[in-house]
A and B are shown apart, each in its own frame.
Chain A
């Protein structure tokens, strides 16, 4: 029973998903019923999210932490942090999908897939066993493959196929890396593997095998994190997928990917023998991702592609934090907590940006940055919200993005990675150009039409939450900092 209680947040989502599908089958198929079904599905999905968040809160209040299902899953501050984060993101995505769902018959399937995928992501953050990790990974990936192709037009279908094919490659790589780890240590538990690694001493054969395992895992999971050179799918898929799914990919899937990477690399491979190797690797990947992502974003004309490349650059910035963990203990926590913090701050910022894009693009019927001309005149709130989010992505105070960058660069400097922090700062300057170009377009150009527009209620609510959270973190970051620190403390 304890196992089930500890798995409550995941189960709440899964139950909601099941109920939505059942409800869809049980209620009659008719035009009038479709409305009720949609409203009911919407309510069920939000109830699932609320239940998940509530249950996580209960787990914290009752101090109900520890292992579940014979040590394959764990409830600790780290998984709880991600429970809140991922459930919150899922709720926002559900809100942001309202307009999309109004145009499709398959709303029940959509919501169920989103919730099931969220379940997988939460399990990713809580899994401490290779097999559990793999199952969780596949659960979220398969749901996402379907969601990316949800629109069924040629772009969406093409994106889905690409995502599936490359996802298969990444799965293969991840499995390959896991197989190496299992073959070497004979264990699937992350702690057991860690014991093996520290017991192996400096044996060069073992180290070579560990290097292989490390690189394969980094490559496979690098696909989820969307870092160079495993990011090739990002622009096409971001552009082709329905925009709420794109937002989901860029925020939730990425956060879950980082959670798994932190679990595996900090727990199983955290030993000095191997960690200096992967820290250097991550440092290089971080530098390359930031630079390539930003330079490519400079020349984009489609806002979703631009945000795609920008998310690659942002992922590179998160990786700075991971690269910074290889040094001594306090830095380990600092690097890890900086990543966790950044994920939280980035979630608000990027969700806000995507929600604004959803609301604006469907009104102007275009994703072209040039068509955003004069949006400030037509929809001042949306334009102001999008501008604020882009300013946060640039890293200009007083927004969440600024604190997050200070946090990560600080971790890098303390781990003697000043060069990496410098590259990050330089990239921040480059990124200002393409982010602010959108702002400039919205404010300093004449609109093509004078017609004003408002976001729908659910989009407006989601947008308000995202922007408010972003400024709150920017002005009073301490609560999130403390949460990130206690989340990272599980690796101490």
Chain B
């Protein structure tokens, strides 16, 4: 095949963007609503789904072509010209495309998972009054995520970084009539913006110190040591703050479980496979920078390790199936960060790749279960194996991949991370091993509560219909499950001949190759990790399946750990009550509102109260207030003069 041309690479992003534009324009023109006199709307909502699916499918084909081009190009970066976007004085921002192994893999993952999710959503969202809106936002999200992956300068990347955040916000709050959904959306937005602040500061810092915003330029600067190592470290930490926000790393992970208030396909695409992995992608993109700073890379490893463990522990106590998976996602993202932290760029991105398939499969499976039972509460499920054999089989494959059982996808990628950890930082290896055991535990518990035993009820679905007997989902939903199950089973073989490794190594500058850790396959590590995972599953089986001991008595025995976990380490309480409510709102804003209410509005209200009285008094009150204002002006003048003379005495 010929090499892909630049216009086609842009089209990968522009196709879903076009679908977003068309759907929103039609909605604004009122063509999506039934006409005044009744009857069907001009634009059938189903068309929005078809349009999105076609756009994403075309983008997927182009993404495959891009990947093929990179491979044909000896895995090296494909050079495209830069286009001037903003030039202000010395600030010169180009927009352009980064097409190399890393971005090509991401393109394929994003378009591929997005395609299946959009297909699945046709049935899942059927009849929802926000059907058009749903597909418009999903298209915009897909376009933004692809734009993020393709960006060649940090500023360009940041633009899309913000856009995916915005889409995530809109989609978490999709069912905005629910109070919980609204609050979850706001929480996600605020928490991730907190991390973004670090990212922005990092951009500001690197620009003020090096004068370049191009990603390749920044990598170059870090590798040649053109700026001090302090700058590199702070830049890397700032970038990592942004990445930690998006990828839900401790202590900014609190938004992701709540984000499950969004529709389940949204969780599958955004909060499992793609956007949350953007943080990992960002760190990987700046890998040469991180690797040049011991402090930064250690931070990545440490935060990743903490996240992997604490989230897995939370997964053991959650009773909501989607939340178990959300914690699992956080934990797995922690694994990817651990991988990066030990220099394993290849293993981390490989894990991102396999995780995208098996985790979105788990979510879509959960959606299928919800479709059947109307609930995500695992205490009201049970016995679904009989009613939903296909869903069960696919979820089982995904679960085994997640735990890392040979030969499923997760085994290969997790094994690489552990091998890298053994060669780089041994303590990370042991954390990872403990994490695998915990993963087995919560996955086993989830499987048994959902699919094992007897059916325990269910309730109305997300859309409000009630179900009697649970039933298997229709083929439109099962087809994506099956395709993803194939990937979850086989994706691990992608790197059996180190093809994946070579592809990614080509995306790292030559000089940075020495910084990569290339852990060797060791049979004992493979055995150890599979054994840890299986023993986790076995313990879960013993407790929840065979009930060798009552879960209650385990809970009582381990106090206060379960209570701490059920309260999510009290972090939500800390953030919301102590920091936000008492600290921020209780402090500064209240003071200011008091000023506003009693000094300014107080006078105005006073004015209003006496308004009917006499106009003479009204005028007096006004004049009095104007005096106050004028006094402030004069104080300002005096302050300014004094300030200048103090700072710079004559």
Binding site for B on A (CB under 8 A): 154, 158, 161-162, 165-166, 169-170, 173, 204, 207-208, 211-212, 214-216, 218-219, 222-223, 228-230, 232-233, 235-236, 276-277, 280-281, 284-285, 292, 295-296, 298-300, 330-331, 333-334, 337-338, 341, 380-381, 384, 396-398, 402-403, 406-407, 409-411, 413-414, 418, 421-422, 425-426, 429, 432-433, 436, 440, 443-446, 477-478, 481
- Say which residue of B163, B173, B208, B636 sits within 8 Å of A229 (CB atoms): B636
Q: Is B604 in contact with A418, judged by CB distance below 8 angstroms?
A: no
- In the assembled complex, the Cα of A218 lies from the Cα of B637 at a distance in Å of 9
Q: Does chain A have a CB within 8 A of B648? A: yes
Binary contact readout B9-39 vs A (1 if CB under 8 angstroms, 0 otherwise): 0000000000000000001101000000000
Contact A414 B90 (CB under 8 A): yes
Interface membership of B630, Cβ < 8 A: yes
Instruction: List 18 A-B pairs, Cβ < 8 Å.
Output: A165-B630, A169-B630, A215-B641, A232-B632, A232-B633, A277-B648, A281-B643, A298-B592, A334-B88, A334-B89, A380-B27, A397-B158, A414-B89, A418-B208, A440-B186, A444-B182, A446-B177, A478-B86
Q: Main SS of chain A's interface residues?
A: helix
Output the nearest chain B residue to A276 by Cβ-Cβ distance. B648
Judge whether B626 and A481 touch: CB under 8 Å: no
A264 shortest CB reach to chain B, Å: 16
B607 neighbours in A (Cβ, 8 Å):
158
Nearest-neighbour CB distance to chain A for B640, whole angstroms, equals 5
Interface of B is mostly: helix
- Most chain B C-beta atoms within 10 Å of own C-beta, residue among A158, A298, A432: A158
Tell me the bound Cα distance from A154 to B619 in angstroms: 11
State the CA gap A421–B163 with chains docked (Å): 22
Q: Which of B30, B177, B625, B626 has the most CB of A within 10 A?
A: B626
- Among A173, A281, A410, the residue within 8 A (CB) of B91 is A410
9 further interface pairs, Cβ-Cβ under 8 Å (given A158-B607, A215-B644, A414-B91): A161-B626, A166-B633, A212-B641, A215-B637, A277-B644, A299-B592, A330-B90, A398-B159, A406-B93
Query: Closest CB of chain A to B23's CB: distance in Å?
Result: 13
Q: Could you tell me the distance in whole angstroms from the C-beta of A387 to the nearest C-beta in chain B? A: 11
Chain B residue nearest to A280 in the complex (CB): B647
B159's partner among A211, A397, A409, A414 (CB-CB below 8 A) is A397
Smallest CB–CB gap between A235 and chain B, Å?
Answer: 7
**CB-CB nearest in chain B for A309:** B596
- Whether B220 is near chain A, meaning CB under 8 Å from some CB there, is no
Convert B185-200 into 0s and 1s, putting 1 for each residue whose CB lies closer than 8 angstroms to a CB of A: 1100110011001001
Which residues of B612-634 are within 8 A (CB) of A? Answer: 618-619, 622-623, 625-626, 628-630, 632-633
User: Once the chains are docked, how many angstroms separate the CA of A299 from the CA of B89?
Assistant: 38
* Residue among B88, B626, B637 with most chain A CB within 10 A: B88
Cβ of B359 to closest chain A Cβ, rounded Å: 28
Q: B635 and A229: CB pair below 8 A?
A: yes
Q: Which of B84, B193, B628, B633 contacts A219 (CB 8 A)?
A: B633
Partner pick for B623 among A165, A208, A433, CB 8 A cutoff:
A165
Chain B residue with Cβ nearest A403: B86
Q: Assuming the A-B contacts A295-B589, A295-B592, A406-B86, are A281 and B640 also in contact, with contact meaning beta carbons closer than 8 angstroms in the complex?
A: yes
Contact of B633 among A169, A398, A407, A478 (CB under 8 A): A169
Complex CA gap A165/B629 in Å reads 10
Q: A162-B626, A215-B644, A406-B155 are in contact. Are A422 and B204 (CB under 8 A)?
A: yes
Q: Which of B567-615 contact A (CB under 8 A)?
A: 588-589, 592-593, 596, 600, 604, 607-608, 611
In the complex, chain A residues whose CB is within 8 Å of the CB of B588: 295
Chain B residues contacting A432 (CB-CB under 8 Å) are: 189, 193
Could you say which residues of chain A place their CB within 8 Å of the CB of B637? Answer: 173, 215-216, 219
A464 CB, nearest partner CB in chain B, Å: 12
Whether a CB of chain A sits under 8 angstroms from the CB of B422 is no
Contact in complex: B86, A396 (CB < 8 Å) = no
Of the candidates B163, B197, B611, B650, the one whose C-beta lies within 8 Å of that of A204 is B650
CB distance from A293 to the nearest CB of B (A): 11
- A236 contacts across to B, CB distance below 8 A: 600, 604
Is A429 touching B193 in the complex (CB atoms < 8 A)? yes
Known A-B contacts A330-B89, A444-B173; the reply to A396 vs B162 at CB < 8 A is yes
Chain B residue nearest to A204 (CB atoms) is B650
Interface pair B622/A477, CB less than 8 Å apart: no
> How many whole Å from A161's CB to the nearest CB in chain B?
6
Is B88 within 8 A of A299, CB to CB? no
Which residue of A232, A330, A398 has the most chain B CB atoms within 10 A of its CB atom?
A232
Query: When A and B form their complex, which 9 residue pairs have the shortest distance between CB atoms, in order from nearest?
Result: A229-B636, A444-B176, A232-B629, A334-B89, A397-B159, A299-B593, A204-B650, A413-B208, A165-B626
Tell me which residues across on chain A come within 8 A of B90, comparing CB atoms: 330, 334, 414
| Chain A residues, Cβ within 8 Å of B549 | none
The closest CB in chain A to the CB of B647 belongs to A280
Minimum distance in angstroms from A334 CB to a CB of chain B: 4
B201 contacts A by Cβ under 8 Å: yes
**A425 CB contact (under 8 Å) in B200, B608, B647:** B200
Q: Looking across the interface, which residue of chain A has its beta carbon closest to that of B193?
A: A429
A330-B89, A402-B159 in contact; A230/B633 too (CB < 8 A)? Answer: yes
CA gap between A204 and B88 in the complex, in Å: 37
Q: Is B207 in the interface zone, CB < 8 Å from A?
A: yes
Taking the closest CB of chain B, its distance from the CB of A89, in whole angstroms, is 23
Q: Would you give the 0/1 interface string for B384-423, flagging 1 where the beta carbon is closer than 8 Å to chain A?
A: 0000000000000000000000000000000000000000
Q: Hey, which chain B residues are within 8 Å of A446, CB to CB?
A: 177
Does B497 belong to the interface (CB within 8 Å)? no
Measured in the bound complex, the distance between the Cα atoms of B625 and A166 in whole Å is 11
Contact with A along B529-555 (1 / 0, CB 8 A): 000000000000000000000000000
> In the complex, A179 Cα to B596 Cα: how many Å?
36
Taking A398-B159, A444-B176 as contacts, is the C-beta distance between A211 and B593 under 8 angstroms?
A: no
Please, which residues of chain A bring their CB within 8 A of the CB of B204?
409, 413, 418, 421-422, 425
Q: B645 in the interface, Cβ–Cβ < 8 Å?
A: yes
A residues less than 8 Å from B648 (CB atoms): 276-277, 280
Q: Are A207 and B622 in contact (CB under 8 A)?
A: no
B434 at the interface (CB under 8 A from A): no
Residues on B with beta carbons closer than 8 Å to the beta carbon of A425: 197, 200-201, 204
Q: How far is the CA of A295 from the CA of B648 in the complex (A)?
A: 30
In the complex, the chain A residue whose C-beta lies closest to that of B621 is A158
B608 (CB) vs chain A CBs: closest residue: A154
B89–A411 CB distance below 8 A:
yes
Minimum distance in angstroms from A58 CB to a CB of chain B: 29
Bound-complex Cα distance A413 to B166 (A):
27
B141 to chain A, nearest CB (A): 15
A337 and B623 CA atoms in complex are apart in Å by 40
- How many angstroms from the CA of A208 to the CA of B91 in the assembled complex? 37
Chain A residues with CB below 8 A from B608, complex form: 154
Interface residue B87 (Cβ < 8 Å from any Cβ of A): yes
When the two chains form their complex, are residues B650 and A384 in contact, meaning their CB atoms are under 8 A apart?
no
Query: Of A162, A218, A414, which contacts B629 at CB under 8 A?
Result: A162
| B86 and chain A: residue at smallest CB distance | A477
A165 to chain B, nearest CB (A): 4
**Complex Cα gap A229–B93 (Å):** 36
Q: Which chain B residue has the least Cβ–Cβ distance from A421? A: B204
Q: Which chain A positions have C-beta within 8 A of B84?
A: 478
| Whole-angstrom distance between the Cβ of A392 and the nearest chain B Cβ | 13
Instruction: Name the contact of A296 in the complex, choosing from B592, B604, B619, B623 (C-beta under 8 A).
Output: B592
Cβ of B28 and Cβ of A215 under 8 Å apart?
Answer: no
Are the CB atoms of A381 and B86 closer together than 8 Å?
Answer: no
Q: Is the pair B197, A426 in contact by a Cβ cutoff of 8 Å?
A: yes
Bound-state CA distance A92–B322 (Å) is 51
- Nearest B residue (CB) for A170: B633
Q: Contacting B88 at CB < 8 Å: which of A154, A338, A396, A397? A: A338
In the bound complex, residues from chain A placing their C-beta under 8 Å from that of B189 are 432, 436
Among the listed A166, A219, A403, which residue makes an inter-chain contact with B636, where contact means beta carbons less than 8 Å apart? A219
Closest Cβ–Cβ distance, residue A57 to chain B (whole Å): 25
Q: Which residue of B lies closest to A410 (CB)?
A: B91
Q: Which residues of A contact B625 (CB under 8 A)?
A: 162
List A contacts of B166 (CB < 8 A). Answer: 396
